[in-house]
Amino acid sequence: MLNRFFELLANHFPKRLGSDGISTYTRRMNMGEFIHFWSGAAGVDLSFRAQMTFGAKDRAGSDWQPQFEKAKTDFPGVTYTLDPTYGVNLSKTAQLEVSKDNEGGANSAEGSVKLIDLDNNSKFLVKGFTTGFNVANIGCSGNSQCLPAHIW
């Protein structure tokens, strides 16, 4: 995906040819453009996930969503599909199974339930990590859009 991101940049982001014959980009990209190009590399709209991950503001304190909308207009050759789970919080109906849980159990302060509790400050902790540990999504009740997920 990283290669695809850089291919999209090379093909669509503004560049100029220097006197040394080397092309350079004419400016830095903003957050909305980054999310647009990264979505192109992934082949799916990542803006909702970016909102959940980075928040609504870029590092300069500007709302990046208008930048994202403008980037779609400015760079129409960067294409992707709408994420079928766009705006859907799959964690609400997720059911996970882990091969080893916290010694206090799944519902303990650091149990496996913390993987899907929507709290960025909670954690799942397992002592004595061994090879072969895995987490598997075993279903999302009532959600036909549930995507399989594995952490190995």
What whole-number distance in Å separates Cα of residue 103 and Cα of residue 112?
Answer: 10
Farthest-apart Cα atoms in the chain, separation: 65
What's the token pair of residue 60? 């300069």
In whole angstroms, how far apart are CA 144 and each of 47, 139, 149? 21, 10, 14
The pLDDT value given to residue 108? 84
Q: How confident is the model at residue 92 (pLDDT cuts 50, 70, 90)?
A: low
Q: What span, in angstroms and rounded, lies between the C-alpha atoms of 43 and 133? A: 30
How crowded is residue 22: how many other Cβ atoms within 10 Å of its Cβ? 9
pLDDT of residue 87: 65
Please state whether the predicted TM-score (pTM) of the whole model is above 0.85.
Answer: no
